[in-house]
Amino acid sequence: MDAGGLSSAWLIPTWVVARRQFMMLVRSPLRVVFGFTQPLIYVLFFGPFISVAYPQGDSGRPGGLNVLVPGLLLQLTVFSAGFSGYATLQERREGVLDRQRVSAAAPGSLLYGRSLANATVTAVQAAVITVCALPLGFRCSAGGALLGIVLIFLLNLGVSVGSSALAYRLADETTFTPIVQNVSLPLVILSGVLLPLTLAPSWLRRIAFFNPLSHAVDALRAAYAGEFGDSVLWTGGLVAVALSALLTVAGVRSFTRAEA
């Protein structure tokens, strides 16, 4: 495919779809606000509990909010991306997606545009939560926060693509909802978003080792702490990027092969 074909089939349609999603959010800003309300409630009301249970040590042990906030950001990422397929269900019912599929746009660009908008909004929400947590005792480096938000963006992008493709194939909320809930909830719990897995029994840690989100949480905590030389950061980051890439490829392939 030449540069002109790439632009007309992928880049332009991706931007057009993403811009449409952004305009919908502008007309309904409460969707964005409510997206980071729940994590902030956790920070405000659960943060003091975990700060007492997991105080910052003299040896540089991270404080409670430094454990909690990155975990909440991953939880926000997974749930916002996982349930982003609802918008796809609505647009399919309205015939929007079917009209777009018969255009010259590459099918994958229709997913990328929607997922790009969702990932961007989630990254902005993560930045707002990070800033709001600073006066409460959360500590992070600027570079670490930026790296963490990049990881959040990439992971959200892949999960959003997978969610939208799944929603399009199922075309039914009564099937889509329990699948997403029963997959995302145990993965999030077993990732140690609220408490580090070092506090878990050994059998639970062994199970969590095979959960890619547990490595992503560890990477986020290391990134926000500015521990750029820690192998946990790069291992978890690679796992998160690989998971995002896998979901993206699988989602685009499934969406492309689906019958309109």
For CA atoms 41, 44, 48, 53, give the dihedral sign.
Answer: positive
pLDDT digits (tens, 9 = 90+) for 59-93: 444 578 888 999 999 999 999 999 988 888 888 88
Contact yes or no for 73/127 (Cβ under 8 A): no
Q: Give the length of the chain.
A: 260
DSSP secondary structure letter of residue 55: P
Mean pLDDT, residues 8-14 taken together: 74
- Looking at residue 7, its pLDDT comes to 55
Higher pLDDT, 182 or 87: 182
Residue 97 pLDDT grade (very low, low, confident, very high; cuts 50, 70, 90): confident
DSSP secondary structure letter of residue 211: -
Name the one residue in this structure whose structure tokens are 């990134």.
223
Residue 233 pLDDT grade (very low, low, confident, very high; cuts 50, 70, 90): very high
- Looking at residue 126, its pLDDT comes to 93
Contact yes or no for 223/148 (Cβ under 8 A): yes
Report the alpha-carbon distance of residue 168 to residue 172 in Å, rounded: 8
- Looking at residue 9, its pLDDT comes to 63
Q: Phi/psi zone of residue 137: left (φ > 0), alpha (ψ -120 to 50 degrees), beta?
A: left
Report the alpha-carbon distance of residue 82 to residue 177 in Å, rounded: 10
* Spatial CB neighbours of 256, under 8 Å, sequence gap ≥ 6: 107, 108
The mean pLDDT value of the chain amounts to: 85
| Nearest by Cα to 247 from 166, 159, 182, 176 | 159
Mean pLDDT, residues 162-174 taken together: 87
Mean pLDDT, residues 149-165 taken together: 93
- Looking at residue 27, its pLDDT comes to 78
Contact yes or no for 216/191 (Cβ under 8 A): yes
pLDDT digits (tens, 9 = 90+) for 193-207: 988 888 889 999 999
Mean pLDDT check: name the lowest of 50-59, 96-105, 149-158.
50-59
Higher pLDDT, 103 or 49: 49
- Looking at residue 238, its pLDDT comes to 95
